[in-house]
A and B are shown apart, each in its own frame.
Chain A
């Protein structure tokens, strides 16, 4: 099997966002094209130079990309819609990287766009009865995981709440975030109880938005005279799904662990080399468990890393400097591409007000219902 490092180099040359926000009357086309035009401007490219577009969306319906992109003018480019639940955007980015890395295309757009409210989950249509209506509910799954982590590792509600305090604080410094208000530990703990020890401020909001990145080959960068110094290399791209685990174990956690190991292996680095990780913190407990699974600390020590500031901006490895899903938001289709855009901004040194000092190497990691995992490592060379 080949990896990204076996293919020709792929670099992110342009990023653009439409701020994540609560549900509004804004058409998705407006959201998506705002991000797209920002990415084109950032790269210094025109629309006709984009050769393919991978559109990550989970809730818009068929042909969302074609309906949106026709407003840019018909160029005959390849358009593909990618749905992979919460990892839709990450998967669209992976497809874009593979198209360029394989030599099929030179310049490819990955764009995530979504509006909340119209997604339908296949798990509700499989024809099988359930003992509990909460079966397959991510909220219940992670509330139960939090309770198990409490019993196994002594994790407290305060430990989990620190994730939300950090990420709301980061989001307050991110102009593209849905939440822009710092929160104290007391406020997080006192917000409405939702499930188990999870309170409202420890759960990601529902919303809408868009994120776009453009990837290119070195040949295209040279041919178009683009700024090589602002181009960020994609070192690794992996995708996997949940495997069977022993009864009582959480398959999702093992999936993230295996996915993280493989992503780092393909990048040729270990976890200690990561300056930034953007990961799936739809619920606060996830950041702790996944950061442990990705190797940022041994299992059971995540709470201590939150307390000693290791995962803050300026700490050993900034975890979710964007604000993560809890603070920045989780509009589904855009989320994974928004992670990449944040990482590129950070690795360029352009994350004004929330810059991780000296950041050179970062991981973007998403999971999706079902479950799937998609990991990327990016590096400033």
Chain B
């Protein structure tokens, strides 16, 4: 099955999750996600482990944006690599802050989408 957005993520080598596709500045180590064509020259492409800590999450109760089918749980997550990203969680539960999460690929309307779920 195809990835919905192959510019953002790829299957992890362990087959259990997803990695996020980022850029790293070799001089400073600064990360850029998503990979931006407007980033400073000389950036190297890196794959970030999809493991993260949940900072906060909320449930969207209304179809407030295109593509949002409520209830949808949206989270702010700090990747182990340091970056903070917003992502959609698997399911409708709201895990508490600090919960260990990982990026996974789930089928959504005929393509694989990136979601986050609590590590077992």
Contact = CB atoms under 8 A, between A and B. Distances in A.
A143 B87 CA distance: 14
A134 interface: yes
A132 B82 contact: no
Contact of A195 (B7, B9, B64, B76): B64
A194 B78 contact: no
Say whether chain A's binding surface is mostly helix, strand, loop, or mixed: loop
B99 interface: no
Nearest to B37: A127
Nearest to A143: B58
B65 A134 contact: yes
Interface in A222-248: 247-248
Given A195-B64, A247-B78, A131 B58 contact: no
Contacts of A247: 78, 82-84
A134 B78 contact: no
Interface residues of B, number: 33
A193 to B, nearest CB: 4
A206 to B, nearest CB: 12
A202 B52 CA distance: 31
B68 interface: yes
B61 A140 contact: no
A161 to B, nearest CB: 16
Interface in A133-191: 133-135, 137, 139-140, 143-144, 146-148, 151
B61 A147 contact: no
A122 interface: no
A41 B61 CA distance: 46
Contact of A193 (B7, B61, B83): B61
A192 interface: yes
Nearest to A197: B58
Contacts of B82: 247
Given A132-B74, A143-B58, A144-B76, A137 B87 contact: no
Interface centre among A133, A134, A144, A247 (most CB of B within 10 A): A134
A147 B58 contact: yes
Contacts of B57: 144, 147
15 contacts: A128-B34, A130-B8, A131-B34, A131-B85, A131-B86, A133-B67, A134-B68, A135-B86, A143-B58, A144-B57, A144-B74, A148-B55, A192-B62, A193-B62, A248-B55
**Closest CB pairs A-B (n = 6):** A196-B58, A193-B61, A147-B56, A143-B58, A133-B67, A247-B84
Given A132-B86, A134-B74, 11 more contacts: A132-B87, A133-B65, A143-B58, A144-B76, A147-B57, A193-B61, A195-B60, A195-B61, A247-B78, A247-B84, A248-B76
Interface of B: 5, 7-9, 20, 34, 36-37, 55-62, 64-68, 74, 76, 78, 82-88, 97, 114
